[in-house]
Chains A and B, each alone.
Chain A
Amino acid sequence: KAGVTQTPRYLIKTRGQQVTLSCSPISGHRSVSWYQQTPGQGLQFLFEYFSETQRNKGNFPGRFSGRQFSNSRSEMNVSTLELGDSALYLCASRSDRVDNEQFFGPGTRLTVL
């Protein structure tokens, strides 16, 4: 079974621009969560989508948004990029079972110049 895939793997943007990252979950998984990983703040939860609906949201500004499509693929968007948005953005998918297991993709490394 293929794992979680994320595209692109690397991205360089400048301040003020916006960016869209994509995540394809494991086949059959309907839940997709996004996390931001930085050296200073560690791994922080951004939001979770389940069946095209945002179910949980972390403490990030409104510049961070996401959506999920009917095939469970998810995108996250960051508008008006700031230098502090430079991070590894990780996507995790979870099955419908009440098992909580979340499987992560390789991440997208975003650098904001």
Chain B
Amino acid sequence: GENVEQHPSTLSVQEGDSAVIKCTYSDSASNYFPWYKQELGKGPQLIIDIRSNVGEKKDQRIAVTLNKTAKHFSLHITETQPEDSAVYFCAASLPWGNEKLTFGTGTRLTIIP
């Protein structure tokens, strides 16, 4: 089955700096790669996603890149703010009919004021 690895497990950055979280996946048939943000006491919130026919996607301060050949994808957060502090999860999903999400182990991001 699919296996997703995520690094780093913890990340601390100064407010205003950029943060990068990386994930690799094992199943080349996976075609959907979402990123979730989870704050304490809440469920995961979808913040951005990318599909296998796209190499990069950006939404304001957040961007995701995908390298299908190397089977890895990354989350980039620029101009970080204190409210970006949370646990971030990457995930991978197979095509329609088998959309269960396989998650990475999470990255605890701390923004230092």
Interface of A toward B, CB cutoff 8 Å: 4, 31, 33, 35, 42-45, 48, 55-56, 58, 90, 92, 94, 98, 100-107
Cβ-defined contact, A104 with B45, below 8 A: yes
A43–B36 Cα distance when bound, in Å, is 12
Cβ-defined contact, A100 with B43, below 8 A: no
- Asked if B93 is at the interface of the complex by the 8 Å CB criterion, the answer is yes
Residues of B within 8 Å of A106, CB to CB, are 41-43
A48–B96 Cα distance when bound, in Å, is 13
Number of A-B contacts (CB under 8 A): 57
Q: Considering the complex, which residues of chain B in the window 75-113 have a beta carbon less than 8 Å from any beta carbon of chain A?
A: 89, 91, 93, 96-106
9 A-B pairs besides A100-B34, A102-B46, A104-B46 with CB distance below 8 A are A43-B44, A45-B101, A45-B102, A56-B98, A56-B100, A92-B101, A94-B99, A101-B34, A106-B41
A48–B54 Cα distance when bound, in Å, is 27
A31–B99 Cα distance when bound, in Å, is 10
Cβ-defined contact, A104 with B44, below 8 A: yes
Q: List 6 A-B contacts (CB under 8 A).
A: A35-B101, A45-B101, A90-B44, A102-B46, A104-B44, A104-B46
Query: Dominant SS at the A interface?
Result: strand
Cβ-defined contact, A98 with B34, below 8 A: no
A18–B32 Cα distance when bound, in Å, is 35
